[in-house]
Structure 1
Amino acid sequence: MSEILKKLSGQGVAIWLDDISRERLRTGNLEQLIREKNVVGVTSNPTIFASALSKGDAYDTQMHDLAVRGVDIGEAVRAITTYDIRWAADVLRPVYDSTSGVDGRVSLEVDPRLARDTEKTVAEARALWWLVDRPNLFIKIPATLEGLPAITQAIGEGISVNVTLIFSLERYRAVMDAWLAGLEAAQAKGLNLATIESVASFFVSRVDTEIDGRLDKLGRPELKGKAAVANARLAYAAFEEIMNTDRWQRLRAAGARPQRPLWASTGVKNPDYADTMYVDQLVAPGTVNTMPEKTLDATADHGDVGGDSVRPFYEQAWNTMAELKDAGIDYDDVVRVLEDEGVQKFEASWNELLDSVRKNLVP
């Protein structure tokens, strides 16, 4: 196993793979990554599934059988995706058991077309939780305004939730409030809080992509590549604030476990930047970094993992955000655009997935 990845895990960062495919599962590649690269979780999204279905023949037999049975497109997609998720959950079950349910998790996203509909999101979350039927599942719910009450409702029913598409500090605080409210509802129902896990997926690289483009137009290239890390570091500061509240301490005393910050979108999109920057600069205890395999391999090979690279830099992060504001960056507009684009991109990938299944449902 890579000494760099061992060191990263030793610093309290859970290494998750941001990818899934049936080919990866049937070849034993996921088991290999668990053994050799300290992978302790998997995340998926519509884009990942659409890509998986476009390659190879791993889904052909199931596609044929679904077509023979006359299953409609929506249910066919559920059947295909939940099969992979169950398989991955079973592969990761030893990790789940050895970490008392903290890691060994696999995430499955609700239909992103429901991102602006609370009631339908909750209904879909319940359906997927029941359909996969694995304790080490996370249901991914987007952090839209309509998603916030769905997060509370799902957690209140004992469903473990990965909150996705978080870009802003304000929305992140709202997500943590929704999570705490869900735990309080679960406690009132007498549920075992220790069985309800949650992570909050704070997106990283997309922030730099959006702000860098604006900085180019403003003629301030010296500030490029700084926003995303600063934003994420301040998110961790917000997390620490919540962990020190009486509200959380009461829930913790009742058996609840923290909603870990998860760094998502950590693949570097600008080739001018170090390909491991969103790993190296976001090392903090009790976090998750979900990486595309390319980033995982790069980190294993030449990541620069030292000690805590988040908490000692809070003041620097605030200064960076102040500099960006002075340069003309409208933070509120940036995060609004990113959320809208994030929902739209996942909707487009979901439609691509539906189209792929439709074309391949041939008896």
Structure 2
Amino acid sequence: MSNTNTAALSQAGVSIWLDDLSRERLNSGSLEQLIQEKNVVGVTTNPAIFAAAVAGGNDAYDAQVRELAASGADVEEAIFEITTADVAAACDLLAETYTSSDGYDGRVSLEVDPRLAAETQKTAEEAKKLHAKVGRDNVMIKIPATLEGLEAITATIAEGISVNVTLIFSLDRYRAVINAFMEGLEKAHENGHDLSKIHSVASFFVSRVDTEIDKRLDSIGTDEARALKGKAGLANARLAYQVYEEQFTTERWSTLESAGANRQRPLWASTGVKDPNLPDTLYVTELVAPGVVNTMPEKTLDAAADHGTVTGDTITGTYATSNEVLDDLAAQGISYNDVVAQLEAEGVEKFEVAWGELLDDVRQALEAAKGA
């Protein structure tokens, strides 16, 4: 029996994806339960999620680590084997969803090494390698939307590989991501790939926008500034949906759609509320519209299931008000371009730090297995 609130969210056109994965979650049946009871139809991962999974203090990875140590695998090889194994298992668990939705959902995302974010060719090569290793049609390879990542996105899609574009903060960068996606489809079509088999999402980050802008509003300290707190993240995401509507009604898109292409859907990421003064379902119930994905950490998913009242489309028709929010922020002296540039740089850095933690944890586990 599925939860009433999450079922309503799904019926409103929002695909619920879980922003978490671990061997323990797979082995315990936790993911399967969320699929059955809370309408979860996809999974996203990132370096921080895998670092937490490996360091989680349980023995779920011990057997594989011992095998890897015995085979002489180094830490990079071990991480590659561990993460792709988890993603492949999650893909298998979601295979029925993938088939029944004709590839729309049932997706599991796996990110390229974040240290490659500024290296176009190496990112594209890593994406192909990860895709081949997982060996499941429903895997999506995550590529950061850095300037260098745009060309890698195009190259990966041109190979017929489905892509989750991550770390999008700005509307201009989102337009560039959509262009990279369409370029990739055009090349894939030239290469003879079946466009209907290629899917993509564009992960637009939400809560981090509020965290940074609200900090700046607090430093201004006026009543007028404080009145804008908690509004920027929603406004930015809602305007991203407007960009989505505009870009996927063009003649260029019509040509690709006629060839079988699927729209690149907006995905709301970073949907866990950081400010305890804001409703914990804010980035769920206030970002409802047809054809979007909301990837949630389990805490947010639980909150949505418990008290996340879905009132229908909460995005369409908000564009004028959302633009006013950005204008009011500019009037307070807050530079939108400065904020989004800072958030992108910090986002890449956070994933690099998490990757370093993952390297350390797996290295220690390998050494312990060799010494056992």
Same fold by TM (over 0.5)?
Answer: yes
Amino acid at match of 2:343: L
Task: Give yes or no for the alignment of 1:146 onto 2:148.
Answer: yes
Shift of 1:304: 2.2
Q: Which residue of 2 aligns with 1:277?
A: 282
Aligned to 1:140, the other structure's residue is in SS state: strand
Q: 2:101 aligns with which of 99, 102, 105?
A: 99
* Residues in 2 aligned to 1:67 and 1:260: alpha-carbon distance in whole angstroms: 41
8 A contact 1:218–1:328 mirrored in 2 = no
Q: Which residue of 1 aligns with 2:19?
A: 18
* Residues in 1 aligned to 2:322 and 2:53: alpha-carbon distance in whole angstroms: 37
Task: Give yes or no for the alignment of 1:349 onto 2:354.
Answer: yes
* Residues in 1 aligned to 2:4 and 2:32: alpha-carbon distance in whole angstroms: 19
Identity %: 61
Query: Which has the larger displacement, 11-20 or 58-67?
Result: 58-67
Q: Which residue of 2 aligns with 1:73?
A: 75
Aligned to 1:312, the other structure's residue is in SS state: coil
Task: Give yes or no for the alignment of 1:208 onto 2:213.
Answer: no
Task: Give yes or no for the alignment of 1:170 onto 2:175.
Answer: no
Amino acid at match of 1:82: T
* Residues in 2 aligned to 1:48 and 1:57: alpha-carbon distance in whole angstroms: 17
Amino acid at match of 1:40: V
Q: Which residue of 2 aligns with 1:184?
A: 186
Shift of 1:2: 1.4
Query: Which has the larger displacement, 177-186 or 63-72?
Result: 63-72
Query: What are the within-5 Å matches in structure 2 for residues 94-133 of structure 1?
Result: 94-133=96-135
8 A contact 1:152–1:179 mirrored in 2 = yes
CA displacement 1:172-198 (0-9 Å, x = unmatched):
000000000000001111210000000
Q: Which residue of 1 aligns with 2:3?
A: 2
8 A contact 1:208–1:225 mirrored in 2 = yes
* Residues in 1 aligned to 2:19 and 2:165: alpha-carbon distance in whole angstroms: 15
* Residues in 2 aligned to 1:89 and 1:2: alpha-carbon distance in whole angstroms: 23
Query: What are the within-5 Å matches in structure 2 for residues 282-293 of structure 1?
Result: 282-293=287-298
Pairwise CA RMSD = 0.5
Amino acid at match of 1:66: L
Shift of 1:148: 0.1
Shift of 1:310: 0.3
* Residues in 2 aligned to 1:243 and 1:126: alpha-carbon distance in whole angstroms: 27
Amino acid at match of 2:22: S
Moved over 6 A (4+): none
* Residues in 1 aligned to 2:102 and 2:228: alpha-carbon distance in whole angstroms: 43
* Residues in 2 aligned to 1:240 and 1:329: alpha-carbon distance in whole angstroms: 27
8 A contact 1:167–1:203 mirrored in 2 = yes
* Residues in 1 aligned to 2:309 and 2:232: alpha-carbon distance in whole angstroms: 20
Aligned to 2:318, the other structure's residue is in SS state: helix
Aligned to 2:317, the other structure's residue is in SS state: helix
Amino acid at match of 1:19: D
Amino acid at match of 2:18: L
* Residues in 2 aligned to 1:129 and 1:4: alpha-carbon distance in whole angstroms: 34
* Residues in 1 aligned to 2:193 and 2:55: alpha-carbon distance in whole angstroms: 41
Task: Give yes or no for the alignment of 1:58 onto 2:63.
Answer: no
Q: Which residue of 1 aligns with 2:341?
A: 336
* Residues in 2 aligned to 1:212 and 1:297: alpha-carbon distance in whole angstroms: 25
Q: Structure 2 unaligned runs (5+)?
A: none
* Residues in 1 aligned to 2:74 and 2:365: alpha-carbon distance in whole angstroms: 12
Aligned to 1:191, the other structure's residue is in SS state: coil
CA displacement 1:87-127 (0-9 Å, x = unmatched):
00000000000000110000000000000000100110010
Query: What are the within-5 Å matches in structure 2 for residues 241-252 of structure 1?
Result: 241-252=246-257
8 A contact 1:212–1:224 mirrored in 2 = yes
* Residues in 2 aligned to 1:251 and 1:32: alpha-carbon distance in whole angstroms: 38
8 A contact 1:263–1:290 mirrored in 2 = yes
Q: Which residue of 1 aligns with 2:267?
A: 262
Amino acid at match of 1:61: A
Superposition TM-score, scaled by structure 1 size? 0.99
Q: Which residue of 1 aligns with 2:42?
A: 41
8 A contact 1:281–1:310 mirrored in 2 = yes
Number of residue pairs aligned between Structure 1 and Structure 2: 363
8 A contact 1:143–1:166 mirrored in 2 = yes
